[in-house]
C-alpha cells in the first residue's frame, strides 16, 4: 500500500468521495467559527480600530495564494516524473482557486490600505509581487485553455509551472531591490519577537485552518469534475469510433 495507489483515478474518486463531505463540513465550521470569533469576539486594535479584523481574510488568502502555486509545482513535478493523470488534473484544478485567493488578498489588502496607508495601491514589493503572481496564474490558466490535446497541455503547463516558479521567486526579490516596502514584516513566525497578540492569534489560526480546508475541498471538487469531464470525452470518442 503506497501513496501512489491514489494516483489511480478510480481509487482517487472513491477515496475523495469519502473524504470530501468531512473536509467541506470542517472547512465551513472552521471558517464560520473563526470569522465570527474574529469579527465579533475580539477587541479593536488600539491604533487600527476595527480595520484590523480584515487580517482574518487577508492573511489566510495570501498564504494560500502562494502555497497554491507550490501545490501546483509539486503536482506538475509528479506529472512530469511519474505521469499520473490525476496529478496533472489536480494542478489544473488548483490554478483558478489559487488565482482567486490572490485576488482576495489583493482586494482585502486594498480595502485595508485605504484607511491605514491612505492609498488603495502602493508599488510596495509585497503588493507588486502579488500582482506578478496573479499574472503568472493568468498565463498558466490561459495556456491550459489554449491547447486541445490534454496530454500536451499537461506537459507544457507543467514546464511553464517549473520555469514560472523560478521567475516568480526571482521577481519577488527583484521588486524588493527595486522599491522599499510599506507592508509590515512577518508577524506570524513561530520564533519572531514581534507577533500578533494571542487574542488575535487564535481566531486567525482558526481562519487559516478554515481556508486551507476550503482550498482542499475546492481542489478536490474541481479535480473530480476534471476526471469526470475526461471520462466523458473518452466515452464520446468511443461513440464516434463505433
CB of 66 vs other proteins, minimal distance in Å? 15
Q: CB-wise, 50 or 179, nearer to other proteins?
A: 179
How far apart are CB 11 and other proteins at their closest, in Å?
A: 27
> Could you say whether residue 175 binds other proteins (CB under 8 A)?
yes
85's grid cell: 493523470
Nearest to 25 by CA among 155, 217, 160: 217
Phi, psi of 45 (to 5 degrees): -70, 150
With the CA atoms of 168, 210, 54 and 47 taken in that order, what torsion angle do they form, in degrees rounded to the nearest 10? -110
Q: Judged by CB under 8 A, does residue 215 bind other proteins?
A: no
The answer to the question of residue 73 lying near other proteins (CB under 8 A) is: no
Contact between 178 and other proteins per CB under 8 A: yes
Nearer to other proteins, 132 or 212 (CB): 132
Q: 148-167: which residues touch other proteins (CB under 8 A)? A: 152, 155-156, 159-160, 162-164, 167
- The residue within the footprint of other proteins, chosen from 32, 139, 225, 234 (CB under 8 A), is 139
Q: How far is the CB of 170 from other proteins (least distance, A)?
A: 5
| Residue 159 or 237 having the CB closest to other proteins | 159
**Cβ(125)–Cβ(175) under 8 Å?**
yes
Give the CA dihedral 14, 17, 19, 24, nearest 10 degrees. 170
As measured in angstroms, the least distance from the Cβ of 192 to other proteins is 28
3-state helix, strand, coil in the chain (%, to 5): 80, 0, 15
- C-alpha 35/C-alpha 163 separation (Å) is 37
| Among the listed residues 17, 36, 81, 170, the single contact to other proteins using CB under 8 A | 170
Q: Which residues contact 104 (CB under 8 A, 6 or more apart)?
A: 57, 58, 61, 65
Q: What is d(CA 184, CA 124) in angstroms, rounded to the nearest whole number? A: 10
For other proteins, how many residues bind (rule: CB under 8 A)? 25
- By CB under 8 A, residue 103 contacts other proteins: no
Site for other proteins in 119-138 (CB under 8 A): 132, 135-136, 138
Q: Which is nearer to other proteins, 147 or 196 (CB)?
A: 147
- First vs last Cα of the chain: how many Å apart? 38
Spacing of C-alpha 167 from chain mean position: 18
| Residue 82 binds to other proteins (criterion: CB under 8 A) | no
- Is residue 142 at the binding interface for other proteins, with CB under 8 A as the rule? yes
Question: CA dihedral defined by 191, 197, 200, 204, rounded to 10 degrees?
Answer: 0
User: Which residues sit at the interface with other proteins, rule CB under 8 A?
Assistant: 132, 135-136, 138-139, 142-143, 146-147, 152, 155-156, 159-160, 162-164, 167-168, 170-171, 174-175, 177-178
Amino acid at each position: 500500500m503506497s501513496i501512489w495507489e491514489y494516483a489511480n483515478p478510480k481509487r482517487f474518486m472513491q477515496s475523495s468521495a469519502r473524504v470530501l463531505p468531512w473536509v467541506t463540513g470542517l472547512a465551513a465550521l472552521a471558517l464560520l467559527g473563526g470569522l465570527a470569533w474574529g469579527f465579533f469576539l475580539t477587541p479593536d486594535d488600539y491604533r487600527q480600530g476595527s480595520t484590523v479584523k480584515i487580517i482574518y481574510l487577508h492573511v489566510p488568502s495570501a498564504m494560500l495564494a502562494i502555497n497554491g502555486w507550490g501545490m501546483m509545482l509539486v503536482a506538475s513535478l509528479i506529472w512530469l516524473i511519474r505521469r499520473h493523470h490525476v496529478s496533472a488534473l489536480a494542478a489544473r484544478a488548483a490554478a483558478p482557486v489559487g488565482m482567486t485567493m490572490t485576488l482576495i488578498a489583493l482586494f482585502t489588502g486594498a480595502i485595508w490600505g485605504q484607511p491605514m496607508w491612505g492609498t488603495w495601491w502602493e508599488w510596495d514589493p509585497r503588493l507588486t509581487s502579488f500582482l506578478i503572481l496573479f499574472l503568472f496564474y493568468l498565463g498558466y490558466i490561459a495556456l491550459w485553455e489554449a491547447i486541445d490535446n490534454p496530454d500536451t497541455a499537461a506537459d507544457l503547463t507543467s514546464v511553464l509551472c517549473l520555469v514560472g516558479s523560478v521567475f516568480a521567486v526571482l521577481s519577488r526579490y527583484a521588486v524588493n531591490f527595486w522599491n522599499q516596502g510599506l507592508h509590515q514584516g512577518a508577524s506570524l513566525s513561530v520564533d519572531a519577537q514581534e507577533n500578533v497578540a494571542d487574542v488575535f492569534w487564535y481566531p486567525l489560526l482558526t481562519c487559516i485552518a478554515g481556508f486551507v480546508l476550503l482550498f482542499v475541498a475546492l481542489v478536490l471538487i474541481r479535480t473530480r469534475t476534471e476526471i469526470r469531464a475526461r471520462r466523458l470525452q473518452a466515452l464520446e470518442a468511443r461513440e464516434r469510433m463505433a
